[in-house]
A and B are shown apart, each in its own frame.
Chain A
């Protein structure tokens, strides 16, 4: 069965960077793009961007351009999302989702606090 398993919770200080992994199983990673979506506490869903694992092409949300980087390792069927220059308002649960958003990871809580 299709599964997306994300790395564990992180606590970071403002200005630091965080990298979250999303390991795909039950299908070929290169067959579908992978999206990243985040949700601040008690808030709605915000699309962050998408990576095409086949060629590595990416499309990022404009408000995160310059701070977000998505990469993939096809040998381990894993996609990564790095967010730099963290601010308290980046505190959120971060999700990966397979193209179409039918399948989601379990979410990774990132807390940014001094």
Chain B
């Protein structure tokens, strides 16, 4: 199985400051079609996960542009340019490239 390793696992951030979460995969996430499949999700307390980013860097509809994804191969990053109060929650990366799909452990973002 592809192991997804996130860091940090806890991320205290001051409002208005940037935040960055790393996600590393144990195998390349480049699929046979040449695309790289890596998604980011936000989960607010008591809610279902919400997809923010797909295929490394594509923002989903309605996702604020302060969220951005980057990376390649086995090394990926989610960045929030200026953290707002509504960004509090747990962030997960997920690889849908190889069976079984696997998730990172989650990064808990809180306001300092």
| Chain A residues close to B by CB (< 8 Å) | 35, 37, 44-47, 49-50, 59, 61-62, 95, 97, 100-102, 104-107
Write the chain B residue with the least CB distance to A47.
B101
CA distance A98 to B54 in the complex (A): 14
Contact sample, A vs B, 13 pairs, CB 8 Å cutoff: A37-B49, A44-B105, A44-B106, A45-B103, A47-B101, A47-B103, A59-B99, A61-B100, A95-B49, A101-B39, A101-B51, A104-B49, A105-B48
CB atoms of B100 and A62 under 8 A apart: yes
Q: In the assembled complex, which residues on chain A have CB atoms less than 8 Å from the CB atom of B48?
A: 95, 104-107
Give the interface residue-count category, chain B.
Answer: 10 to 19
CB atoms of B100 and A101 under 8 A apart: no
CB atoms of A100 and B54 under 8 A apart: yes
CA distance A88 to B100 in the complex (A): 23
Write the chain B residue with the least CB distance to A50.
B101
CA distance A77 to B51 in the complex (A): 23
Write the chain B residue with the least CB distance to A102.
B51
Write the chain A residue with the least CB distance to B104.
A44
Q: In the assembled complex, which residues on chain B have CB atoms less than 8 Å from the CB atom of A104?
A: 48-50
